[in-house]
Structure 1
């Protein structure tokens, strides 16, 4: 799937604007649907059985592990970035590449492969649906941290939500004539053209408008059945243009121009400071982007609903387990949300392939930094995850072997695709090569 994104870039279809558009679609539509459907969906249930209550399947340490793994990942990533000599402008992205791993596509694939192995499956159980249930439990909290903490970490300092820096904007709609003549928009602060150039532009514009009006009037008169010849002579003949007329028009235009520009500047209000409500709205947008809202909404539905065919989950949005025809009133709505969510992983992989196909400038990140980051992500973090899983099993905090497997496997995946998606929206100006510490980590795998 990633190769398809690279092919589209090679073909010229995956331009920068297309990539940013796909990233926005993934963040605002497909990822929220995927997380919502994964939280409340009833998977791996055979005919005649009811969906297991999510409250009965919860292993509470899986709700705490995301905080532990993200914290340790931030510490290890920051240390690896400093030890590897990563440039200061890349350290935040380098830290994110270690702290946040792929938690959806690759873990599901790895769980399926492990369950298919005859010698390994008895250790963790053959029920893939059970493993995915524990993975969904882990994903109840992890996306919130990924899109809130990760979003703040990848946010340009002083920027707006999404990594883009807002230009100072004015509340009024007044546009000075100097800006209009220069082809600028309000708030861009472009210097006005020189006064002689303004005079020449106005005089030529006035002359062309006058001449155009005369020509249109003449054509209208000639189109009549019996055009009044006297009117033609009086409308065209007496009019003569001289250098003095053009000079007078230029002087009058310059005076009117200056007066209008002064009035517009005086009427233009000063820059507004953000109100407390705007500040709160900005903070909520940074901490609660659409994927987080989708995960939280699914968590609320899953935790408040009970099992059975007549539970709120089955009646509202969930699938009917093990039945050929589902009679849930809003099953069609859940099917639509689930279908849109299934497009998230292929879409993210295409974006990833496009980003990897761009390559990396030789001066961006040193091989020492790449080796350090790769070792931190693919050696240190999996070792910590394995030690954590063994400790949870030995202490009795986690009873099910499948939950231990999930606790280990989520630390063995490379950098999350969503980090790439987030970075592809923040690439502007000095942050154009921010993905450089992230892309090579995946390339070296």
Structure 2
């Protein structure tokens, strides 16, 4: 079993590195430039990733099997705690990120990069591969061999994308300067405007800001008042939280809850790929399959431009100090798995999980904290302009260490889960 897990880790990491290398090659040829990297990021965020998340909610293997398709809500009912677990994972990841910033003496300009790198782990490709190999490595008579742990991962993924794209998108979003139209005549007004207000204003177009300013004018056509509009703030937060990937996840869950509607997209009876709208679902699924390659192309091209800039005038906010890089690796690949193991031990003492599924349940609880930073975070950094090269280097350095560190942590996790 250990050799299978080790080989699975190497294969998954090798696949990621090869895709990143392809992105670097495209950057070398001048096909993926610094300018159109952001275009690729927008394609990923607004199309390929939403399609991936949506289709995963409805998916049912069309293998002409008579077995019933996986019931998303049955998984939710058995392990609903996993819907809340992402809140704990992200919260502890943010705290670990802050701790790593403090211990490594990281410049404040890359605090957000460090925090995002430790808070948001890979929750799809790598965990699915590892969980599948672990499941197949055990005999069917054992709990880990009888219960497919990827079913519980799907419950975790119901809410994790909401936090990843909501909190992560907010964290890595650009912060604009105070808008000059909000100056109430006091020369120090812009300086007093909070960064939070500036951030909220950054979410609106100039026309929307003009409308906001007009509303701040009194009836005597006096100068705009520097009051902060709570309604606009709430709208800005909703705009950041309700990202296309989040909306796609929610829509997929809603459709999956209605058996008849889900049956329009995937054949749930004899699984022979002849549902009325299966052609449409298959198209979305094909688009979703391109999400991971595109994300890795973005990562690889960022690494290329980062390496090309070594020794030249690289912008200060794009540099990642070695101490900070090591701190990210330690925080994400060592401290976070330890937190996951400790959390599983505490949950086992206080939660009542059925004995026939508890091993697979706690395996997922621990494994989702052990993976490197999600590639999607690179997309967020690209769109937000937040130390793109620094984020790329932090992710790539984790993948370089993963064959040793990740394999060791997964071995410990599987050993613990198999004994429960």
TM-score when normalising by structure 1: 0.67
**Structure with a larger share of its residues in helix:** 2
SS in 2 for 1:125: helix
Measure, in 2, the Cα distance between the counterparts of 1:78 and 1:133.
33
Counting only pairs closer than 5 Å after superposition, residues 26-425 of structure 1 correspond to structure 2 as 26-43=44-61, 47-58=65-76, 59-118=79-138, 122-125=142-145, 130-158=148-176, 280-302=234-256, 304-306=257-259, 311-315=260-264, 317-320=265-268, 322-326=270-274, 328-359=275-306, 364-399=319-354, 400=357, 401-425=359-383
Cα separation, partners in 2 of 1:393 and 1:19, compared to 1, 3 Å: same
Q: Work out whether residues 201 and 209 of structure 2, in 8 Å CA contact, stay in contact via their aligned partners in 1.
A: no
Cα pair 1:102 1:417 within 8 Å, conserved = yes
In 1, distance between residues paired with 2:374 and 2:35? 22
The answer (yes or no) to whether the contact 1:36–1:298 under 8 Å persists in 2 is yes
CA distance in 2, matches of 1:402, 1:46: 27
Q: Distance in 1 between matches of 2:368 and 2:238?
A: 28
- On the 8 A contact 2:176/2:202 being kept in 1, the answer is no
Structure of greater Rg: 1
SS of equivalent to 2:302: helix
Q: Is this contact kept in 2: 1:319–1:334, CA < 8 A?
A: no
Q: 1:339 to 1:162 in 2, by over 3 A?
A: farther
Measured against aligned partners, the alpha-carbon deviations of 1:144-186 in whole angstroms (never above 9, x if no partner) come to 00011111111223379999787856999xxxxxxxxxxxxxx
Aligned partners of 1:372 and 1:31: how far apart in 2?
29
The structure-2 alpha-carbon separation of the partners of 1:53 and 1:83, relative to structure 1 and needing over 3 Å to count, comes to: same
Shift in CA distance, 318/355, structure 1 to aligned 2, threshold 3 Å: same
How far off its partner does 1:112 sit?
2.3
> Within the alignment, does 1:4 sit opposite 2:26 as a pair?
no
Instruction: Give the deviation of 1:48 after TM superposition.
Output: 1.3
Name which structure has the greater RCO, CA cutoff 8 Å, separation 6+: 1
DSSP 3-state at the match of 1:144:
helix
CA gap of 1:121–1:64, structure 2 versus 1, over 3 A, is: farther
Pairing partner for 1:435 from 388, 391, 395: 391
Distance in 1, matches of 2:135 and 2:396, equals 31
- C-alpha separation between the residues in 1 aligned to 2:375 and 2:80? 27
Deviation at 1:51, TM superposition (A): 2.1
Q: In the alignment, which residue of structure 1 is the partner of 2:384?
A: 426
CA distance in 2, matches of 1:108, 1:163: 39
Cα distance in 2, alignment partners of residues 325 and 10 from structure 1: 42
Matched-pair contact (CA < 8 Å) for 1:169–1:271: no
Q: 1:415–1:441: 8 Å Cα contact kept in structure 2?
A: no
Q: Quick one: structure 1 residues 11 and 164, their matched pair in 2 at CA, closer, same or farther if it must change by over 3 Å?
A: farther
- CA-CA distance at 1:52 after TM superposition: 3.8
- RMSD (Å) for aligned C-alpha atoms: 3.3
Q: Deviations over 1:258-311 (max 9, x none)?
A: xxxxxxxxxxxx999998776554332211110111111112222x324xxxx3
List runs of 5+ in structure 1 lacking aligned partners: 173-269
TM-superposed CA distance for 1:320, in Å, is: 3.2
Alpha-carbon spacing, 1:169–1:105, altered in 2? closer, same or farther (3 Å): same
Does the CA-based 8 Å contact 1:36-1:295 persist in structure 2?
yes
**Paired residues, what number?**
337
Distance in 1, Cα, partners of 2:337 & 2:202: 34
Q: TM-score, normalised by structure 2?
A: 0.71
* 3-state SS of paired residue (2:293): helix
Q: Which runs of 5+ in 2 are unaligned?
A: 1-18, 178-197, 211-222, 402-420
